[in-house]
Amino acid sequence: MKILVAEDDAVTRKILGATLERLGWDVVTANDGEAAWQVFETLRGKDAPDLAVLDWMMPGVEGIEICRRLRATPGFEFIYVILVTSRGDKQDLSEGLAAGANDYITKPVHPVELEARVRVGERMMNLQRSLAARVTELEAALGEVRALQGLLPICSYCKKVRNEANYWEQVDSYLTSHSDVKITHGICPVCLEKMMEELDATPV
């Protein structure tokens, strides 16, 4: 998983980056909010970070503003955001979470706490990816089902089906061309008996 660390304080940026790298994550760093936003813009659709650890107070664009921008930008709206703050005020935390942050952590950031919070984020991102893949599968399946929906005109006598081009075609041919069904041909017991009777009645 790729993680963006945006922090203007060099000491905190260094310790956050080193801790996350030691735990095996791919880390990109930015030294202010504008640089952080540039990372997302530059890596859009290719290799953008899945999770961002953003300092709340940075010169220029603050972490909370990056968070708002991410939530309002298609493609970035599900990035997991952890705000880093040295504030302990509940009102501030409420404001951060309302802006779309998933979690927050206070300075000094303890490595064990950071790892625990990032692992929660990683689980959330994996779950989200898995759900997105499942939705794609379901949409594809639904598309196939829809191909066989609607009113199907069928001849009451010969059982041929009238297709979109207004031609009458065999049911098996129609099904093969309108679905993923593969047809094997056989004979049912009723038809078999009837056919045997006909054969018996046929003069040799």
Partner 1 sequence: MPPRSEIPARTYRDAGDLDEAALLILVDGDRGLARELAVIFLEDLGPRVAEITEAVTGRDPDRLRAGAHALRGSAATMMANNVSVAATALETMGRSGLLDGVQQALEELNRALALLRPRLVALAGPGVP
> Interface residues with partner 1 (CB under 8 A)?
8-12, 14-15, 18-19, 22, 55, 57, 59, 86, 107-111
What is the closest distance, in whole angstroms, from the C-beta atom of residue 5 to partner 1 in the complex?
13
HEC secondary structure over 95-118? HHHHCCCCEEEECCCCHHHHHHHH
For partner 1, which is the closer residue by CB, 31 or 73? 31
Coil/strand/helix, residue 68: helix
What is the closest distance, in whole angstroms, from the C-beta atom of residue 3 to partner 1 in the complex?
17
Cis peptide leading into 111, omega within 30 of 0? Answer: no
Alpha carbon separation from 36 to 81, 94, 112, 135 (Å, rounded): 12, 23, 25, 31
**Inter-residue contact 109 to 53 (CB < 8 Å):** no
For partner 1, which is the closer residue by CB, 8 or 50? 8
For partner 1, which is the closer residue by CB, 13 or 48? 13
What is the closest distance, in whole angstroms, from the C-beta atom of residue 102 to partner 1 in the complex?
21
What is the closest distance, in whole angstroms, from the C-beta atom of residue 180 to partner 1 in the complex?
54
What is the closest distance, in whole angstroms, from the C-beta atom of residue 12 to partner 1 in the complex?
5
For partner 1, which is the closer residue by CB, 20 or 79? 20
Alpha carbon separation from 96 to 3, 62, 63, 104 (Å, rounded): 19, 11, 9, 8
For partner 1, which is the closer residue by CB, 52 or 109? 109
For partner 1, which is the closer residue by CB, 15 or 79? 15
Strand partners, 80: 51
What is the closest distance, in whole angstroms, from the C-beta atom of residue 20 to partner 1 in the complex?
12
Best CA proximity match to 100, nearest among 124, 120, 79: 79
**Inter-residue contact 6 to 28 (CB < 8 Å):** no
**Inter-residue contact 75 to 46 (CB < 8 Å):** no
